Structure 1
């Protein structure tokens, strides 16, 4: 076999001073900081070229240069900051509420058998419900203002957080917990020193999913009933057939999602530096 290593040959190569290739990398992740930028540059260049060659109609797919001018106009007249501030405030409140509640319930389901027996069927029943379909009901309960949007985002974030937290705790190796119990560690110390660090990668991975869900839900909620916000801005631009302005709003959403991903990556590096 070509990948097999002859121990005698390896020892002979080592004795002759020849380096032996290291095979214990353990799937080490290598950083390629310019790969993503190069991919975006190629995509934008192809898009701009297709528009300039007439392969795409400027009305239906304006070139990136037109989108950039529309975005610059949003920055100049202040509409970008007004709408972005409204959307960020809704995302922050709804995501924090849904994440806090989801982590509490997920921890309880992962640790206590009774809570798991009750929680798993309920989560399985409510999770598939489209959360934006409940917005009219939330408007009836909480009014047309901000509380109904907070409830929509929080409800959408809650269930994925429960599943991610519960699954992450359930995947912590049981032999580590049994070993700690055999040494007589209190259960609080076991949770703090073994369960929480072991479950943290899965919980942080769930944060990436719920942040995207919050971004999607805030846009949908703002399209239904909001004066300001990126979703309301995109809807207005679409109704007026201002496709360059519409795509500028979509670009802002994409950049917002990218910024959230960078923040979560930094959080993972800080909290999971022990890996």
Structure 2
């Protein structure tokens, strides 16, 4: 009897885990089917809203001729490099600001005063500093990632229980061990919240930078086909931007489960 109850409990738990995923997939599938029906009934002209089947056909053509891969690789390099630089620097500076009173007093007001500036507005200045090339795009993405990460890391460090820090110091831990074994694990939930927020910001800055100062990339491709009013290929770019955002989000969720199993 107990074994049967355990089996039933396990099945219920399994369904509870799987149902949200199935519901999300069904919702997306239903939206795509409705979209296709609306387009095939000519309720909306194809120029303004191409059908999903037409978008997939255009995506396949662009994939075969190499155009899509070329632009996608350019965008992935920029967002990958910029995100990594901004995230690493943001976590490091956030830990320093949260742990050091002097750094907190001197640097935190500077961080909060610069944070509200729209980062894309700094692109002309960054181009002036670094010239035309990949560096300005990577730098503007890194800046956009840095500030949400540094602020969330700083907030996460401040939420760590001071008693735990005092206990670690009492038992002879040096500053490095206190940061590595007490402060960093305690701040990880807030750090990942900042990383997720920065992922969306990095995509926005990627598209903006590529539309302003790039010949290749998904953003440049979207702008090009928008100017030509080829909306099927424009929507291919939008589709792959959404896929990039989804991959970013899922990767961060997976890392969060691995690094914060107690959450």
TM over 0.5: yes
Q: Quick one: which of 160, 182, 186 aligns to 1:172?
A: 160
> How many equivalent residue pairs?
248
The Cα shift of 1:30 comes to 4.4
Structure 1: distance between partners of 2:39 and 2:219: 26
Structure 1: distance between partners of 2:72 and 2:187: 33
Which runs of 5 or more structure 1 residues have no equivalent in the other structure?
Answer: 1-28
> What pairs up with 1:112-261 in 2 under 5 angstroms?
112-261=100-249
The Cα shift of 1:247 comes to 0.6
Structure 2: distance between partners of 1:123 and 1:187: 24
Secondary structure of residue in 2 paired with 1:150? helix
Would you tell me which structure has more helix in proportion to its own residues? 2
Secondary structure of residue in 2 paired with 1:128? coil
The aligned residue for residue 41 of structure 1 is 29
Which runs of 5 or more structure 2 residues have no equivalent in the other structure?
Answer: 1-15
The aligned residue for residue 85 of structure 1 is 73
The Cα shift of 1:179 comes to 3.0
Q: Runs in 1 of length 4+ with deviation above 4 angstroms?
A: none
Secondary structure of residue in 1 paired with 2:108? helix
251-260 or 263-272: which moved more?
263-272
The Cα shift of 1:102 comes to 1.3
The Cα shift of 1:90 comes to 0.7
RMSD of aligned Cα (Å) = 1.7
TM-score (normalised: structure 2): 0.89
- CA distances 1:108-161 after superposition (whole Å, capped 9, x unpaired): 110011111122211121111111111111111111211111111111111111
